[in-house]
Amino acid sequence: MPKILRTEAISLHSVAYAESSKIVTFFTRDFGKLNFLAKGARRPNSKFGAALETFTHAKLIIYKPETPKLYILSDAEIIHPFSELQSSTERYWTGAQIIEFVLAAVDFDEPNARLFNLILSALMVLSDQTLAKMNFDNLVLAFFLKAASFLGYRPELANCVTCRKPLPKLHRENKEKLLRTKFVFDIAKGGILCASCRTKSTAGSLLIYNQLAYLQALLYLPLKRSLNLNPQPELRNLIIQYLKHHFEKINRSAFSINQTVSVPKASN
């Protein structure tokens, strides 16, 4: 017999199915990304209401089939509709990039509670109307780096990936020298080469210290604090390239990077 399960979930995408139903993709807290058959969801008086709309956070009652077919969605109770994301193009587009990443990069049936909490946190920040003037591009880049980490591809930004020595931190005594120091982000190696090791490599992208500090802040600080960082738009393309290297299904055009500036290639 099919199992009855309960879980929280975030709606990612839906498509019409048959005459009156939908196939809905949710990211669930307990079971990861799943597809569900929502019978009758397209009918005017559907019991699901707005619970299947993209971004919606809901409690689900689901049936797990005995054979690996579609899960059946029995009921959905809205916890937060995140309707605030419809109030501005910037909020909606930021949320859409988060959803697109999850759809493209995450495999089905792989539970990841940390990623679920990260998605939910990002949507909560986006729905905060007091943050109207903040830089939402910082938020989506911070989400990308953190999500990559939770999926097993954490970039090494604290130590040199070659010699493993800790990367320097800015102090009053070394400020002048460190701000002139150049590092390299090597996508293939998965992180930063220190000033000494980068001279032995021609691969990767050159970074100055402020750019390294920006990447570190995106990865290590809470999502909400990323909104206050000084933006580094020239690094967006580098982050997307890192994602594409590790997540083959990501469609570059989905992330609107056509207007970004390329980071210079490493050289001695």
In a domain, 73, yes or no: no
Q: Domain count of the chain?
A: 1
User: pLDDT digits over 117-131, tens only?
Assistant: 999 999 999 999 887
pLDDT at residue 100, as a whole number: 92
Higher per-residue pLDDT: 154 or 261: 154
Q: Structure tokens of 179?
A: 């701000």
Radius of gyration over alpha carbons of the chain, in Å?
21
CA 192 to chain centre: 21
pLDDT at residue 66, as a whole number: 76
In a domain, 172, yes or no: yes
Q: Structure tokens of 108?
A: 């089905």
pLDDT confidence tier of residue 2, bands split at 50, 70 and 90? low
Q: Which amino acid is at 3?
A: K
Q: What is the mean pLDDT of the chain?
A: 89
In a domain, 11, yes or no: no
Give the integer Cα–Cα distance in Å for 212 and 194.
11
Per the CB < 8 A criterion, the answer to whether 10 and 120 are in contact is yes
| Burial degree of 4 (CB within 10 A; 0-12, 13-18, 19+) | exposed
Range of the domain at 206: 134-268
User: pLDDT digits over 219-242, tens only?
Assistant: 999 999 999 899 999 999 999 999
In a domain, 2, yes or no: no
Give the integer Cα–Cα distance in Å for 117 and 10.
10
Indicate whether 3 pLDDT > 60: yes
User: pLDDT digits over 35-62, tens only?
Assistant: 999 999 999 889 999 999 999 999 999 9
Instruction: Please list the residues that pair with 80 across neighbouring strands.
Output: 57
Give the integer Cα–Cα distance in Å for 127 and 95.
10
pTM above 0.85, yes or no: yes
In a domain, 244, yes or no: yes
Q: Structure tokens of 113?
A: 């509670």
The conformation of residue 265, written as its DSSP 8-state character, comes to B
CA 155 to chain centre: 14
Per the CB < 8 A criterion, the answer to whether 32 and 108 are in contact is yes
Q: For residue 62, give the H/E element and its range.
A: strand 57-64
In a domain, 37, yes or no: no
In a domain, 161, yes or no: yes
Alpha-carbon distances, residue 163 vs 90, 141, 191, 192, 219 (angstroms):
41, 27, 12, 10, 21
User: pLDDT digits over 4-20, tens only?
Assistant: 999 999 999 999 999 99
Q: For residue 12, give the H/E element and its range.
A: strand 3-17
Q: Structure tokens of 38?
A: 């929502």
Cβ-proximal residues to 63 (8 Å cutoff; 6+ apart), any chain: 2, 3, 4, 5, 71, 72, 74
HEC profile of 116-136: HHHHHHHHHHHCCHHHCCCCH
Strands 205-208 and 21-28: unpaired
Q: What is the mean pLDDT of residues 165-187?
A: 88
Give the integer Cα–Cα distance in Å for 239 and 246.
11
**Residues constituting the chain:** 268
In a domain, 57, yes or no: no
Indicate whether 184 pLDDT > 70: yes
